[in-house]
Structure formats: structure tokens, C-alpha cells
Amino acid sequence: MKKTLTLILVTLFSYSFVFSQNNSTKKADRLYDRLEFVKAAEEYLKLDDSDLNSEYVITKLANCFYNLFETREAEKWFKKIINKNLTKKQKEIMFDEGTERPFSSDLLRESRKGFYHCANCGNKLFASTSKFDSGTGWPSFTEALPGAFKTKIDYSFGMKRTEYHCAKCGAHHGHVFEDGPGENGMRFCNNGLCLIFKPTN
């Protein structure tokens, strides 16, 4: 099983959760914004337990350690925000870069209008209007919602592929290919277990 570096690669300086900054994190946040990650991490770690265990601070700490190339420490912090309701298989796919069996997802037959969300954090990822039958055995989409994902290059199995992860929690979702039917030519090949569908009517 691959190392859980998936989580770490989601970290970008411009990324932030929807949690509000408060007075207790202001000093650390200023250091973080100035890319002074060593000092920022030190300040975040001084916070009391109520702040230190917040999703906002956990994410900031993970980002600090990733940008300092301390990947093991970053992974440790990101694992703290894994949804406890995920099944063992979902965790394997989303945080160990596994893959579900083709044609095993009930979402392949989903045809209602609505949106597809990240199963770990609830982030809205795809509109149903972008879904199509690719014949590959995995739910496929021509485009993602703006800002839904971050990408990295995956060299596993002797191939060069573009892997994408939820921009909010870092969960692995699948790979994107340039053979889709839409105007942009993209095909987002997503593991169904990583998605939750919410109909709009």
C-alpha cells in the first residue's frame, strides 16, 4: 500500500478552510502568510487544546510541515481530519491512493440532477450535468467545479498520469485524462466510493 502522501500534496499557500481566524491564531497566521513555516508551526503548537484540535489549525500545521519537506509530520496532522464515518475501503482509496473495482459503483446508474460531494469532507466537486458514461467502469465527468481539486503527477505502474485530490481535505479521488467528450477534452475518472450524491429535486 502506498504511503499517504496524497494528503500532503493538497497543500497550497492560497488554500484556506472556511473557519474564521481568531485572536489566538493571528500571530501564527501572519507568520504563515509570510511563508515563515518553522516559526508559524511553533506558534500553532503553543495554542491550547481547543484551538490546536480545530480543523483550521490542524490544516495549517500540516501545510507548514509539508512546505518544510517534513512529510511524515504533515501526514500525521492531516490524518487527524479524516472522517471517522468512512469505511475501511473508502479510507484505503482516499488516503492510501487505492482504487475500487470497475463497474462496482452504484453511482454509475445515477441520473438525477444534483451535485457530487467529497465523501470525506462534503466539499462540492461535480455537477450532474458534467457526468457521462465513459464505459470505463468508474463515474466520469467532463469538468469539476471551480477550485474543487488540486492535482499532482502520478508515476505509479510505469505510467505518467495526472492524479487529483479534494482541495479541502486532500482526499484522493481519481485521475484526469485528456480523452473526454466535452469541449475541454477532459475526463475525470472518479472512484465512486469517494463521492456522495445529493439531488437537487
Alpha-carbon gap, residue 85 to 160, rounded angstroms: 33
Quote the cell numbers at residue 156: 505509479
Distances (CA, A) of 149 to 29, 68, 95, 158, 191: 23, 22, 15, 24, 14
Of 173, 163, 6, the closest CA to residue 75 belongs to: 6
Catalytic status, residue 189: yes
Contact indicator for 53, 44 with CB cutoff of 8 Å = no
* Catalytic site residue from 64, 121, 166, 189: 189
- Residues annotated catalytic, as ranges: 189
